[in-house]
Amino acid sequence: MADTRDLHLPFEVEVFYIHHWVLVSSPYIIMWLKHVPLYNPRVMYAWLVLLAYHFHVLLPASVMFGANISYMMSPPRGKVLHAFGPWYRFAVSFVCLGLTAFARHVIVGGVSTAVSKLHQSVLPSAMQSKAWIASKFTGHIAVAQLSTGFHTSRPSSHGD
Amino acid sequence: MFFVTAATIFPSIYRILQTQAPRVQTPAAASKPNALRKVVLVVLKFLYPILLALQVLYKAQNERLVFLFQPCHLMTLLLAMVVWSPQGSTWGGQVFNFFLHSSYAPWLALLTPGACAQLAYVCAVLKLWWCGLTMCGCVRGRHS
């Protein structure tokens, strides 16, 4: 179960669960909305941003306010992380590197690949070849040629 | 560690902002958003700020506003930015791409630290299902 030991106010636990289930489901909902374009993975950069946020923002804030924000002061319950002693943050960091790659390439990428395969099986062959292209590189839906001025190829990094 | 991450984070952010990664999904401007998509988008536009405001109220009531720094609240803010961004916007797509990388974090918050207990619960439920199917005669049991 989630760590809800500090939640005592009325409906605080329910709001916690609703909030986190919304966060869990929102990648798929927003991808389905097609409100923003989907970009290629940048696993190391995203991991570094989160790492620096934890070590440069959360750890000083935890020390300053005496709060255990995102478990930066002491590990959560369980024997596994306590076995690492004071080095549990680095253990979690390197586990999170794998989780970042897994989240981007497998959870998100796998679902969108399955959706694109489904569309490929449903759509007529002419649309398969032109409109719906499953990108082999990322495994994401690449919807091309639906409008002018849109490209699925890699833009040149020198020109602009 | 402090200096190493400081030396890597700023080039990383610069690189993220400067690199025009190839987009692999069309923006909605290229396809036709149907009515359901529009309704869901409007719902999300108000759901994320409401959830964030509720968390702010709870934290203020507990006098623990510093816990708003937690990554889940940051992600809610990012998602609110994404759904309020204009359609097919570049920065919205890049913010959403960052969220996609860290989408494992709410799973961690939901499952840990009792992930083993959850697995044991799932196994118990599956075992009950299997016993029920065996008793109903749907599948052949080991001793029948």
Q: Are residues B52 and B99 in the same domain?
A: yes
Q: Are residues B131 and B63 in the same domain?
A: no
Q: Are residues B107 and B130 in the same domain?
A: no
- For A36, the token pair is 């923003």
DSSP-derived 3-state class of residue B34: coil
Strand pairing category for A132-134 and A38-39: unpaired
So what's the pLDDT on residue B9?
65
CB atoms within 10 A of CB B4: 10
Total domains present in chain B = 2
Q: What is the pLDDT of residues A56-111, one digit of tens each?
A: 999 999 999 999 888 898 888 777 888 888 899 999 999 999 999 999 888 777 77
Q: Are residues B81 and B137 in the same domain?
A: no
Q: Are residues B100 and B117 in the same domain?
A: no
Name the H helices within B19-142: 35-62, 71-84, 90-101, 104-111, 115-136
Q: What is the pTM of this model?
A: 0.70
So what's the pLDDT on residue B8?
64
B66 CB burial (10 A radius; 0-12, 13-18, 19+)? middle
So what's the pLDDT on residue A64?
93
**How many Å apart are CA B20 and CA A93, to the nearest integer?**
27
ipTM for the assembly: 0.71
Q: Which of residues 133-152 of A touch B (CB under 8 A)?
A: 135, 138, 140-144, 146-147, 150, 152
- For A59, the token pair is 């750890």
So what's the pLDDT on residue A141?
47
**How many Å apart are CA B49 and CA A152, to the nearest integer?**
33
Q: Are residues B100 and B118 in the same domain?
A: no
Q: Are residues B34 and B68 in the same domain?
A: yes
Task: For A21-74, give the secondary structure using H, E and C.
Answer: HHHHHHHHHHHHHCCCCEECCCHHHHHHHHHHHHHHHHHHHHHHHCCCHHHCCC
Averages of pLDDT over runs of 10 residues in chain B (144 residues) are: 63 59 53 82 96 94 90 94 92 92 90 59 69 65 54
Q: How far is B125 from chain A (nearest CA, A)?
A: 16
Q: What is the pLDDT of residues A29-47, one digit of tens each?
A: 998 888 888 888 889 999 9
Residue A52 has pLDDT above 90, yes or no: yes
Q: Does B84 touch chain A (CB under 8 A)?
A: no
Q: Which of residues 34-63 of B touch A (CB under 8 A)?
A: 37, 40-41, 44, 47-48, 51, 54-55, 58, 61-62
CB contact under 8 A, B64 and A138: no
Q: Are residues B92 and B69 in the same domain?
A: yes
Q: Does B23 touch chain A (CB under 8 A)?
A: yes
Query: What torsion, rounded to 10 degrees, do the Cα atoms A52, B65, B74, B9 define?
Result: -10
**How many Å apart are CA B19 and CA A100, to the nearest integer?**
20
**How many Å apart are CA A138 and CA A105, to the nearest integer?**
8
Q: Are residues B86 and B122 in the same domain?
A: no
Mutate to test the interface with A, among B5, B17, B24 (most CBs of A within 10 A): B24
Closest by CA position to A120, among listed A138, A143, A145: A143
CB contact under 8 A, A143 and B26: yes
**How many Å apart are CA A57 and CA A64, to the nearest integer?**
11
Q: How far is A53 from chain B (nearest CA, A)?
A: 9
Query: Domain containing B117: what range?
Result: 113-144
| Count of pairs with CB atoms under 8 A, one residue in A, one in B | 240
